[in-house]
Amino acid sequence: MEPGAHPGVHLAEHGEGPPRTTVSVSKVEALIQGLAGVEAARIVLDDRGAVREIHVLADSSRSPKSVARDVLSALHARWGLAVDRRRISVAQLAQTSPRPKAVRLRLKQLSITTDPVRSWTEVSVALAPVPPVDPFGRPVRDREVPRGEWLGRAAGPAGGDSTTLRLAAQAALEALNQSLVPSHGFSLVDVARVSLGGYGLVVCLLHHHAARGEPAVLSGSAVVRNGIVDAAVRATLNATNRIFEVTVRRNFPQSDQEDDADVPDWVGDVAAGVDPRGLTDDGPESGDLADE
């Protein structure tokens, strides 16, 4: 074998005479790793280049017997390679409950309209899911992440900053609530502008309502960078994004499941003020994801 060459699997494992063709071990392992339920695969050859052992690491979605049968069928169908079933060993990973996919919202569009004649103010907010990216920051397609956007509006008599802050938060919550299953929702308790360490912040207090249990109290904050209306929306997202990822299920265009079956059982515990996952405020501020 030439230096650097991949070891080859003999396609004629049985019979007399030298085999006519070989295929690289890496190609055989790649085929096995592409089978349903397979996480990894390694092949061990004997001195003749025949398959001595095939080690397969699989998840718990299929039985070891089914995985082994698929390996045999795939090798025979692709290359006509016949392997003794006893040479295949399958190890399975322990079954674990998958964590809900992280889905967060970003502020896509914000507008405020004031009618001085009627002394009336309206705030419109458009929210959209944050597009998933790969480890290199490149956008990727994910069928489990909802597409589109949700629009919320809130209007009322024109007033001071406190009135404008409430309208902004209410508009954001109206947009957000459209994305939730019917048994979940957020409502505004209060929102205010505060000063801390020489910086202006908007702080909001919300209730998270679920199918069972008392409403959970949530809080969020955002630094005032582009005005108090923008900060009020970002503070609302800062509060809700922590549990939004496990309650948004209603408007998934790619999914036919649109009821509470999509929501993990422990979401009700969140509503009761208990969070088994220990969700925190770690990570970038939600408002930083807003479009320029």
Q: Walk across the sheet containing 150-157 and list its strands.
A: 105-115, 120-129, 150-157
Over 70: is that where the pLDDT of 124 sits? yes
Domains of the chain: 8-92 (3.30.300.30), 105-289 (3.30.160.270)
Q: Is 257 helix (H, G, I), strand (E, B) or coil?
A: coil
What's the pLDDT score for residue 255? 36
Tokens at 136, concatenated: 């290199």
pTM: 0.51
Burial 103-141 (b: 16+ CB within 10 A, else e): bbbbbbebebeeeeeeeebbbbbbbbbeeeeeeeeeeee
What's the pLDDT score for residue 242? 73
Over 50: is that where the pLDDT of 111 sits? yes
Over 50: is that where the pLDDT of 282 sits? no
Q: Given the DSSP bridges, would you call strands 51-58 and 88-92 parallel, antiparallel or unpaired?
A: parallel
Tokens at 184, concatenated: 């979940």
Contact in structure between 53 and 83 (CB atoms under 8 Å): no
Cα 123 vs. chain centroid, distance in angstroms? 30
Over 90: is that where the pLDDT of 236 sits? yes
What's the pLDDT score for residue 278? 35
**Residue position matching structure tokens 């908007």:** 202
Tokens at 266, concatenated: 């422990």
Over 60: is that where the pLDDT of 135 sits? no
